[in-house]
Amino acid sequence: MKKTHYMSSITPFIYRICITLMLIFLIPHTGEGQSKDGFYIGVGVTHTSIGGDFDGVSFVAGGGIIDVMPRIEDAFGIKYIVGFQSDIGSIDFNYSRSEHDGNWEGLDMSTVFETYNFDLKALPLRESYTVRPFLALGFGLNSLTVEDGSSDGFFLADATFEGYALRVGGGLEVSLLDQLSIDVMGLYRWERYDKVEGLVVGDIPDEIDSNGATYSAEVKFIF
């Protein structure tokens, strides 16, 4: 399969990451108390932007089928988390989903973004602070489904792009109680898609990207 490629600016994402880093290192870290170590579950709200090759004019073509790549609006979503936390950091598995409005060549299209992630968080401050900054690094398996995004000129089907992502960012952990904490986090995603499922299933030799930022606020209960 082939794709039509158009470059898009990542300047807005770089700006957001800079703001996040400023917050991490400028907010005072005062107060006593720290969440205890142990396994945790959590739920959060996300705000996700999707860019890269999804610009509203590009498409993947092959075998008489085209799978379109709409321009996708930012959207809020939901996140579910399970993991383990210690004094120096945490490791977690999480799933997030968001539903976005999109547009391709003037046609409105709905999209669903889903990702399964493995994230590591490092807490540089090991003292008993109520508010502590952390750095985050993760890997994700993603899917992006475009409603009625696959066509042969006669029939339509949903187009689901499948791929992977590297996630880098940071945030703040706020300890409310011994077993309850809040994480506020910003991540930049370097995403690549190498497969698409629509009217036909096929690999994408020249991988496409949907780089963007995800911000989240999460509540965790520690056992």
CATH of the domain at 144: 2.40.160.20
Q: How far apart are CA 71 and CA 55, in angstroms?
A: 4
Which residues constitute the domain of residue 70? 2-28+40-222
Q: How many CA atoms lie within 13 A of 173 on its CB side?
A: 32
Residue 33 lies in a domain: no
C-alpha closest to that of 112 among 81, 143, 139: 143
Residue 93 lies in a domain: yes
> Per the structure, how many domains does the chain have?
1
Rounded to whole angstroms, what are the CA distances from 155 to 10, 108, 127, 138, 150?
Answer: 35, 17, 61, 38, 8
DSSP element (H, E) containing 24: helix 11-26
**21 C-beta neighbours (distance < 10 Å), count:** 15
- Please state, rounded to an integer, the average pLDDT across all residues of the chain: 86
Q: Does the pTM of the predicted model rise above 0.85?
A: no
Q: How far apart are CA 9 and CA 42, in angstroms?
A: 34
Q: How confident is the model at residue 19 (pLDDT cuts 50, 70, 90)?
A: low
What's phi and psi for 61, nearest 5 deg?
-130, 145
Residue 35 lies in a domain: no
Residue 63 lies in a domain: yes
| pLDDT over threshold 70, residue 205 | yes
Q: What is the pLDDT of residues 30-72, one digit of tens each?
A: 444 556 788 999 999 999 999 999 999 999 988 789 999 999 9
pLDDT score at 121: 94
Residue 34 lies in a domain: no
Q: How confident is the model at residue 86 (pLDDT cuts 50, 70, 90)?
A: confident
Q: How confident is the model at residue 18 (pLDDT cuts 50, 70, 90)?
A: low
Residue 65 lies in a domain: yes
Residue 47 lies in a domain: yes
DSSP element (H, E) containing 22: helix 11-26
CA dihedral 158, 49, 187, 79 (to 10 degrees): -60
